[in-house]
Amino acid sequence: MTTRILLADDQALLRGTFKILIDSCDDLEVVAEAEDGAEAIRLARAHQPDVVVMDVRMPGMDGLAATEAICADPALTNTRVLILTTFENDEHVARALRAGASGFLGKYVTTDALLEGIRIVAAGESMLSPGATKALIAQFVAIPSPGQPAATITTPGLADLTNREVEVMKLAADGKSNDEIAAELHLSVLTVRTHVQRAMAKLGARDRAQFVVIAYKNGLMSPLPALSARRDGVREPVDRHGED
């Protein structure tokens, strides 16, 4: 089955390079290219891609606003967004997570990392590297958007989770992979994957990234003390092994 991809970047040379790399793979295909956020939304609705590879900085409507629109569109439920970022502004990461982005890659990633990232996101997993993004999630996701008051959030379906599903959700939000959760709980990886999938279905989470965000928003995990990705030297969001 071929994964269909929309590229959104205002740099034609970079788009062309990514297209050549992606189209060289039998299982991946670029179906459209956008120069800005507004065009990305229009083309996403027209082509219904599996993955949108979205640059943050574009003229007119930027990639974050476009991500919000795409992830909120009921007609694009099966379309996932992979953000390209240089982490110039950590709040970009928080805003994209709130909007429903499924992951992040550095702007000038290696060929293998780009292709791996697209495949991981298309499979419903996320590019949330435990070591690189846990602090960002804990710092920003549980904090309301600028200008919005704090509120008690209860996601529909949360009360329907079993004790084991809640336990697995907390460990996933702590940055652990399915293999690590299985080892800690003395379960098989298949059993853990089943618990994760059932919990995601009950919560309406489109992927693992949103699954983790829900855990923080509903107070299942406490935000860490304020951290800075730059101060702590956390720069690279790519988990080269992905998630199970």
44-64: pLDDT as tens digits: 999 999 999 999 889 999 999
Instruction: Say whether 130-237 and 3-127 share the same fold.
Output: yes
The lowest-confidence range among 151-165, 171-185, 221-235 is: 221-235
At residue 203, the pLDDT reads 92
Q: Where are the domains of the chain?
A: 3-127, 130-237
CATH class of 3-127: alpha beta
Q: What percent of the chain has pLDDT over 90?
A: 43
More confident: 94 or 5: 5
CATH of domain 130-237: 3.40.50.2300
The lowest-confidence range among 4-18, 19-33, 81-95 is: 81-95
At residue 132, the pLDDT reads 44
Q: What percent of the chain has pLDDT over 70?
A: 76
More confident: 231 or 223: 223
The lowest-confidence range among 103-107, 138-142, 159-163, 206-210 is: 138-142
**pLDDT tier, 137 (very low <50, low <70, confident <90, very high otherwise):** low
What sign does the CA torsion over 244, 6, 95, 210 have? negative
What are the residue ranges of helices labelled H in 86-151? 90-99, 111-122, 130-136
Listed in sequence order, the residues at least 6 apart from 122 whose beta carbon sits closer than 8 Å to its beta carbon are: 3, 50, 51, 80
At residue 139, the pLDDT reads 57
**pLDDT tier, 84 (very low <50, low <70, confident <90, very high otherwise):** confident
pLDDT of 150 over the 60 cut: no
At residue 96, the pLDDT reads 78
pLDDT of 2 over the 50 cut: yes
Q: List C-alpha distances in Å: 185 to 159, 168, 171, 233.
A: 22, 9, 10, 31
The reply to whether the predicted model has a pTM over 0.75 is no
Only one residue has tokens 């609705």, namely: 45
The average pLDDT across 16-35 equals 95
CB 207 within 8 A of CB 120: no
- What dihedral angle (degrees, nearest 10) is formed by the CA atoms of 157, 160, 164, 167? 40
- What is the rounded distance in angstroms from the CA atom of residue 216 to the CA atom of residue 17? 37
